Structure 1
Amino acid sequence: MTLSAIPLPPIPRLPVAVPRSGVSGEARRALRQLLGDLDRAIAVAFRDGADATALARRRGESVTRIVAHVWTACLGDVSHAALFAIGGFGRGLLFPYSDIDLLALVEQSDAARLRALEQCFATLWDIGLKVGHAVRDPAQCQTLAAADASVFTSLLDARRLAGDPALDAHLRNIIDAPGMWPPREYLRARLADRDARHARFDDTANNLEPNIKDGPGGLRTLDSLRWLGQRIAHANDFPDMVSEGLLDPAECDTLLRAEATLRRYRFALHLEAGRAEERLLFDYQRGIAAQLGFEDEHEKNLGVEQFMQGYYRAASHVERLGIQIADRFEEMLEAPSAPQPVGTEFIRYGARLAARDPDLFMRRPAALVDIFIARLDEKGLIGFSADTMRRIHQATAVHGTALADEPQALVSFLQLLRRGAPAVDALWRMNRHGLLAAILPAFGQVFGRMQYDLFHVYTVDEHTLRVLRNVARFADPATQAEFPLACEAWSTLPKPEVLLLAALFHDIAKGRGGDHSVLGEEDARAFCTKLGLQEDDTERVAWLVRWHLLMSTTAQRQDITDPDVVHRFAEVVAGRERLGQLYLLTIADIIGTSPRLWNAWKDRLLADLYTATRYALRRDAKPSRDAAARIANCREQALALLTSEGHDPAVVAQVWAGFPDLSFLRHHPQQVAWQTDAILKADGKLPLIAVHPMSVRGSTELFVCAPDRDGLFANVTAMLDRLHFSVMEARVLSSPDGKAMDTFLLLEAENQRPASQERAEELHQRLQRALAQSAPIMPPRRSMSRHLKHFQMAPRIDFKQAGGRTQMALVCSDRPGLLAAVSQVLMACEVRVHDARIATFGERVEDFFQLTDRRNAPLGETQQQRLWQALVERIGPAKE
């Protein structure tokens, strides 16, 4: 059935209102019933496929009649007073749970009239309308409008519902008053409002739980464009803007299609939430996707992901065009300037660049890229002229993906990439104009592509552009203090275009099914060949795309203090240039995935792996993989640190007699020196608790030395959970004389930063008191967050035997107190922990443990099965 064939609910028939009689209880019940029937009919029509805009208008028309009926019943055929709809209601649109915004404009107010107004608004609330109202006289209205652009804006949409028609002219006089928000001032105010709103949403439409109304690219953006059109160009809607030359027909169609999508989604969201909810929360996304007919294609293209891609694409179109149209309004208000040549094909008018020949982009497609290069080279430019922007859009639409096979356009694109870091800004702008997706059709496929999880907080295209921007930061001397190794690695790159291309392609195959790294490698190799890149450079790009996750997974999931781990990693990398490129891409990728993912611990972890691998790749270097040599080297460096602090080498040697060899194999010399210093200062008192707020490992380091006993690890993790610390890594060692020497690397759970001095002292005191007692410490019970409840999975637990221990890999859903819960299970199953590496990726946890039984033997099949069962029962999907 077509949309036009679906009948809309009829506008309700109302009884004739008796002026000034008020609304009786019986009449109120009838109106309440009428509204309920109307909303149910509208909901049914929407679920049957009726158009959301048509339904919102029908609801607006119906509510208009009801509101006018109540006004007449309460105030009668009154003079010198009128009721106006403002906001969305003023535009005649009402979504299922939208507020009813009203303005009562009253020239003469007395006590009786005020009581009648109070009765009118109370009645509207009583029958089920959520009313927001203001009562003002014309002078008050003018004063407020002059002081506040948002009040003035609300008057632009005002529509009289009932009352004295003469008040229409009063309202018009307020809007048209001399000096009342001249176009230039009004534009500044609206842009300031836009920037403030966008800042609340990280300046992107591509958030995990976007706000359909107020977020970047939301319905408010479309409203703002209409308001600017009214004020600056006397154009009330997008078709009028086409007539005024502010939009071309294709742009107008794009905006109207995007608006239809956003309205449909907002309508569905209100119905799904049962209230005026404007955020597409995880609570509703799956339900709305199913309601609108989206189905899972495969596990990497879920129905909910397709649904959200529809939102992100619509919002991105609105956001991009909104920025460009605002530029055009600014250009309209600028004083004319004399043209100045820019090369042979371009010209500038003040701070705006234009093409000399109006047909340039149609005649020579490569000029579409060249104009972005010219903008990089020419100083003082703020954008393109309105006419040039329009012609870029038109030419891009006409040429389409044929640009991907246009030899000269590819030559220009490669020339741009060879600019290095400055090219990134041009790539962002090209994406805003749709040009990047035309040159890279595969990039167009991931436009608006989201992943339904808590780890990837941006769509694939937004993430890719952020990765590129992060890469460009390494060329900026101002970031030297924050990323010293990365800046050094960038400075050694002979061909920055290799890294930029790898960043462009690293996630380009997501959503197709299969391994996106493998598929992306194929895409990258094909494009680089077409681009005319040298064979060696093509292979470097393809290799980086294929292995872009290798460094982060190696660092976070394996023990990089083990030379065998570093050696295996170095064999795959097989070159210092590739190592530097992979290191830069890894950092940029992590930071570009989520603002919360990057922290000092990961910085140090990757830096350690980078440094160790760089040394391993030196041709003249033969790093010892012999344990005795490495122990001796660590002891030597640690002793030098201790003697420099005034410690007697003989006393240090006595302390080290109680250290296991693994302390020197698995710890940095600085860590060994710090632990030794803590033991010497403790003068034999146990349990010893030492806390280093910011250790050499980029985290807060906790050292626990105590008589070894089963349950110690569980008690420590329970206390850390109580104090809201996240454990990033734990190393559990036993000394030859029966002491536990456990090291924990910690970050604050709240912000993933090392602890302050005060928090470190609190941890020291609380844990010291707790471990001095023999009673077990139980982790606190905390409820799961709303977000995590939507991403529960069955635990995956794998065991394998290696080096006289059992290695357990645990992949499961995150939850408060997870490590403490796992520790309790291990203790109950009589299992000892010797090493733990903790990695959290959004809602997904990947933890790795080295375990033995209480006789320090590997776990047998029976004990593994018992442990597996206990973990599944304890940390399986929440049933709350």
Structure 2
Amino acid sequence: MNRIRIPDQRAIIDRRELASQIAALHGESDGDARREIVEALKQALEDGRAELRRRLDEKPSAGHACTGGFSFLVDQLIRVIYDHVTEAVHPLANRTSGERLTLVAVGGYGRAEMAPHSDVDIAFITPHRRTPWCEQVIETMLYYLWDLGLKVGHSSRTLEEMVRMSKEDLTIRTAMLEGRYLWGDQELYDEAAKRFRRDVVAGTARQFVSEKLEERNQRHKRMGDSRYVVEPNVKDGKGGLRDLQTLYWIGKYIHGVRSASELVDVGLLTKAEYRSFRRAEGFLLAVRCHLHLLTGRAEDRLTFDFQRQIAERMNFAERPGQAPVERFMQFYFLQAKRVGSLTGVFLAHIDDELAQKRRRTGLLAGFSPKPRMLKGYRVFGGRIAAPGDDWFKSDPVRLIEIFQIAEAESLEIHPETMRQADRDSGLIKDEVRRDPRANALFLELLAGRNDPEMVLRWMNEAGVFGRFVPDFGRVNAQMQFDMYHHYTVDEHTIRAIGLLNKIEKGELAEDHPRATRLIHKVASRRAAYVAVLLHDIAKGRGGDHSILGAEIALELCPRFGLSDAETELVSWLVREHLLMSATAFKRDLTDPKTIEDFVERVQGLERLRHLAILTSVDIRAVGPGVWNSWKGQLLGQLYDAAHERLRLGHVQEGRVPRVAAKKRTVAELLDDKNGLLDQAEQVFDDAYWIAEPEDVIALNIVQYAAAREQKHKLSVHCEYYEARGATLVTVIAADHPGLFYRIAGGIHLAGANIIDARIHTTRAGWAVDNFLVQDPVGKPFREPSQLKRIEDTIADALANRIELAPKLAQRPLPRTRANAFDVSPRVVFDNTASNRFTVIEVNARDRSALLNRLARTLFEARLIVQSAHITAYGERAADTFYVTDLTGDKITESSRLSRLENELLDAASDQRQREMEDA
């Protein structure tokens, strides 16, 4: 966009010296020196690249210098090649008017923004019909460029073809818009530029802007439609380089600017905004250059495995509570946020310009409708605007008020006013933060009935949110370096607030029926919104963010105007916001002790209602696909059990009545097969009846009876289990040691992930094991061929027809980028979580067949697994086992626990995985 001065150019490439070298090679060989010439060009290219890599290492944030340097290097090579081809290979003494050729750098190369492995985009333009000489020159040049290993995007057009195709194709028009004279016939280039402005651009500004913005919107949708996705695309993602380039294209198309700096001259950006433009652009270009150099290819996705390396290359240091990679990504997202702010202001100016042109030339020329006034603000065309430039300076509380009015009245904020708010956000000092009116307005906005998510996002973009709530400002653009969280902390929080608003309006009743009912039963809806705002407020500070966040809540809630009771509730919710999900996903909900321990910490129905709502929106706001019906079922089961215990003060029914009630329901489900119930009552003990849901029991009874009648030694059945959003796999076999780990291995080998497992042994010595499984992206298996594969693989594993260990080691983990994270395995024993079992929780890096290896370790330790609960948090797995020893007792001996811990850590370690793969 702005041609940058390249210092010490000859250290990159000396064109005159290279040209002399090539001329000498050509002369010495009687014109047959192509191979030697290519080698000389390759050497010059490699030397230039090495010099530019060295410069980037010295100044790792110098994005403009790096991309400008690579453009300069390619420029010089192309000029040398052109001169050699036209003077030595295809010389022409007296060229006709048609034997003229100009080389135009287009696209990113035309902007002189070339990352190390960017395409070399060249337009070869001729005046009229292409002559044989022009075609020979173009073909020979392309072969030289290809021999150098350059990826060339080229076109060969006459002036008329250039005009016609630019009119027809937006991509071609955009590429030509950035056309830069490279070499060849200067007069022909000037004529092409003139024709482009006159015949293509003139009179089409509105159409071009509309098409470019639609193109941008479609690109954003493909890239996740948020500038805060934790693996952003530096080039095409929201807030990336392409968004800045779009601003330049529009400015150039409408005003004919030749560089980004001229956007200031035509009034589209202020000088301060232009400086922000250049800073953001320079940083993003530097990141892109590092990506290209690290990967050795044109890579624009800033994935986890490269984030840590680039943070190191760009000299980001560690800070308390923040790793270098997290600081690097926070800075990245701040730049992306700045790009978003600039885009809003810029497009508002363009919109106003085009609107004025329409009024001046249309039927309503001369007619100017008056805006209405609302609480001192101008409202026009669905937008609210400050009435003057000193509006916020005269009363800084208005910086909060305008956003509250926008939410309450469903108005957009005029981008010029957003620019003012951004500029004046520094006026928000302690006096404003303590102002009761300002806090009342903020609380009204936060718990708004229309669209608080959108308006809070605007407030955040303008820098007002972080100024008014400094603790929120600290998590602004803060990344969580893991594969579980899809967004930065501030974006996750704002999305969660939006989800709560949608739940309250009944828009998510299908996915969240319980939360939709509960939000209208809580005593304080504003406490629910404040709890969502503050639940992650202390991330990145070091220490437990839940405990630190609870302390922040005790300070902020009174400031916002919450009562003592609301403050206590919000503080508790922030401190315990992970309690419900941890209990539901990692503990056996059929174990009465699980419910007792949970209720002891909740202690009240109002807390339970709020916690259920907060847990739902927190999980769903993590990212697409994280919430599913299985999680909803587990949370609902926990809620219902806790609600019953809290409401009655005790469990409603004892063991015997509960078993009897289940048997009655099962009999109804069995219908004409209810005669099987008598046999089942003799086979299954009370623990089985309590642990399994009625519909699963009915399925198990029918399968068990059929297996016994046909005297099958093994019965495996799979079916889609809609109520749980998973596939139910039931295995009935003669019980024997190691059965569980072999079944788990077979399921893994079929490409399935186990999310829950219940292991039972009948009085007759038969194992009846129920597994819930999903595919690697959390979806159930439904197709008959998929279900048959699972059944066959389990049967092969149990019959020893396949060797599990080597086969499993060969299966790659679908998320191979998990290797970018340090996940140290950890084992926790809990003999208080259950009255009957020792609970073992293993946290480790998620990988192929982890459950199988852990289960085998428990088998070799002579332990019996009664149930297993498997949870994945991105790259990290948390597997929980309820176990006893062979006599049915807990494991309490410290030496045995210590030995078991070491064995489980070894099974979960990266080293064990590598040893299995090597074997």
Q: TM-score, normalised by structure 1?
A: 0.92
Equivalent of residue 837 in structure 1, options 869, 884, 893:
869
What residue in structure 2 maps to residue 646 of structure 1?
672
CA apart distance, 1:82 = 0.2
Post-superposition offset of 1:451: 1.9
The alignment-based identity, stated in percent, is 29
Q: Could you tell me how far apart the structure 2 residues matched to 1:458 and 1:186 are?
A: 32
Taking the aligned partners of 1:684 and 1:303, their CA distance within structure 2 comes to 64
Match of 1:307 among 312, 324, 328: 328
2:878 match: 846
Q: Secondary structure at the match of 2:690?
A: helix
Give, in angstroms, the shift of residue 490 of structure 1. Answer: 1.7
Deviation, structure 1 residue 765:
4.7
Aligned partner of residue 745 in structure 1, secondary structure: strand
For 1:400 and 1:787, the matched residues in 2 are separated by 43
**Is 1:372 aligned to residue 385 of structure 2?**
no
Native 8 Å contact 1:692 1:760 kept in 2: no
Following the alignment from structure 2 to structure 1, what is the Cα–Cα distance between the partners of residues 7 and 688?
A: 75
SS in 2 for 1:593: coil
Q: Report how far residue 324 of structure 1 moved.
A: 4.1
SS class of match (1:744): strand
Equivalent position to 2:48, from 23, 32, 38: 38
Q: Return the match for 1:346 from 377, 392, 397.
A: 377
Partner of 1:332: 353
SS of the residue 2:737 aligns to: coil
Confirm whether residue 190 of structure 1 aligns to residue 173 of structure 2.
no
Aligned equivalents of 1:233 and 1:617: distance in 2? 69
2:169 matches 1:148: yes
Instruction: Report whether the alignment pairs 1:445 with 2:474.
Output: yes
Q: Contact 2:104/2:180 (CA < 8 Å) preserved in 1? A: yes
Partner of residue 165 from structure 1, selected from 163, 186, 190: 186
Match of 2:567 among 528, 535, 538: 538
Which runs of no fewer than 5 residues in structure 2 stay unpaired? 360-367
Match status 1:875 vs 2:876: no
Match of 1:55 in 2: 66
Aligned amino acid, residue 350 of structure 1:
G
Q: How far apart in 2 are the matches of 1:281 and 1:418?
A: 35
Q: How far 1:386 moved relative to its partner?
A: 4.0
The corresponding residue for 2:623 is 594
Query: SS state of the match for residue 693, structure 1?
Result: strand
1-structure distance, mates of 2:300, 2:794: 49
SS at match of 1:479: coil
Map 1:766-781 → 2, pairs under 5 A: 766=792, 769-770=795-796, 773=799, 778=804, 780=808, 781=810
Deviation at 1:603? Answer: 0.8
1:104 aligns with 2:124: yes
Distance 1:249 1:411, change over 3 A: farther
Q: Which residue of 2 aligns with 1:396?
A: 425
Q: Which moved more, 1:143-152 or 1:9-18?
A: 9-18
2:826 is aligned, of 774, 778, 796, to: 796
Classify 1:6/1:793 alpha carbon distance in 2 versus 1 (closer, same or farther; 3 Å): farther
Confirm or deny: 8 A CA contact 2:871 2:877 kept in the other structure.
yes
Corresponding residue to 2:613 among 578, 584, 588: 584
How far 1:823 sits from its partner (Å)? 2.9
Give the residue type in structure 2 aligned to 1:838.
Answer: I
Paired residue for 1:704?
A: 731
Deviations 1:392-412 (A, max 9, x none): 222224446764344432221
Equivalence for 1:631: 659
- TM-score, structure 2 normalization: 0.88
2: distance between equivalents of 1:834 and 1:517?
Answer: 32
CA–CA separation in structure 1 for the residues paired with 2:877 and 2:546: 21
SS class of match (1:754): coil
CA contact (8 A) 1:9 1:42 kept: no
In the alignment, does 2:298 pair up with 1:286? no
Deviation track 1:386-444 (CA, whole Å, cap 9, x = no partner) reads 43232222222444676434443222112223434632332122122222112111212
Structure 2 counterpart of 1:754, from 767, 780, 794: 780
Residue identity opposite 2:414 in structure 1: S
Give, in whole Å, the separation in 2 of the partners of 1:256 and 1:374. Answer: 34
1:745 — aligned with what? 772
Segment of structure 1 superposing worse, 766-775 or 386-395? 766-775
CA drift at 1:481: 2.3
Q: CA RMSD in A?
A: 2.9
The secondary structure found in structure 2 opposite 1:10 is helix
Partners of 1:740 and 1:301 in 2: CA distance: 49
Q: What letter is aligned with 2:908?
A: I
Write the distance in 2 (CA, Å) between the matches of 1:62 and 1:477. Answer: 60
Q: Which amino acid aligns with 2:145?
A: L
* 2:717–2:730 contact (8 Å) kept in structure 1: yes
Match of 1:139 among 138, 160, 182: 160
- Asked whether the equivalents of residues 345 and 416 of structure 2 are also in contact (C-alpha less than 8 Å), the reply is no
Distance 1:819 1:354, change over 3 A: same
Which sections of structure 1, spanning at least 5 residues, go unmatched?
Answer: none
Letter in 1 for 2:280: A
Which residue of 2 is the match for residue 786 of structure 1? 816
Question: What is the deviation of 1:607?
Answer: 1.0
The count of aligned residue pairs is 870
User: CA separation in 1, counterparts of 2:839 and 2:383?
Assistant: 62
Partner of 2:103: 83
The alpha carbon displacement at 1:553 in A equals 0.5
- Residue equivalent to 2:232: 210
Sort the Cα spacing of 1:23 and 1:317 in 2 relative to 1 into closer, same or farther, 3 A: farther
- Report the CA distance between 1:550 and its aligned residue: 0.8
Distance in 1 of aligned mates of 2:172 and 2:786: 51
**One-letter amino acid matched to 1:13:** D
Aligned position for 2:363: none
- Further displaced range: 248-257 or 38-47: 248-257
| Structure 2 residue aligned with 1:415 | 444
Q: 1:399 to 1:426 in 2, by over 3 A?
A: same
Distance in 2 (CA, whole Å) between partners of 1:695 and 1:663 is 22
CA contact (8 A) 1:331 1:385 kept: no
Q: What is the letter of the counterpart of residue 42 of structure 1?
A: L
Q: Cα deviations across residues 68-111 of structure 1 (Å, max 9, x unaligned)?
A: 12112112497521001112221223332222211110124222
Cα gap change, 1:9 to 1:602, in 2 (>3 Å)? farther
Q: Secondary structure at the match of 1:454?
A: coil
* Aligned match of 2:502: 473
Deviates more, 1:171-180 or 1:482-491: 171-180
Q: Take 2:451 and 2:306, find their aligned partners in 1: how far apart are those partners?
A: 41
In the aligned structure 1, how far is the partner of 2:70 from the partner of 2:112?
9
Q: Secondary structure at the match of 1:212?
A: coil
Write the distance in 1 (CA, Å) between the matches of 2:602 and 2:898. 38
Structure 1 CA distance for aligned equivalents of residues 789 and 14 of structure 2: 70
Distance (whole Å) between structure 2 residues aligned to residue 759 and residue 584 of structure 1? 39
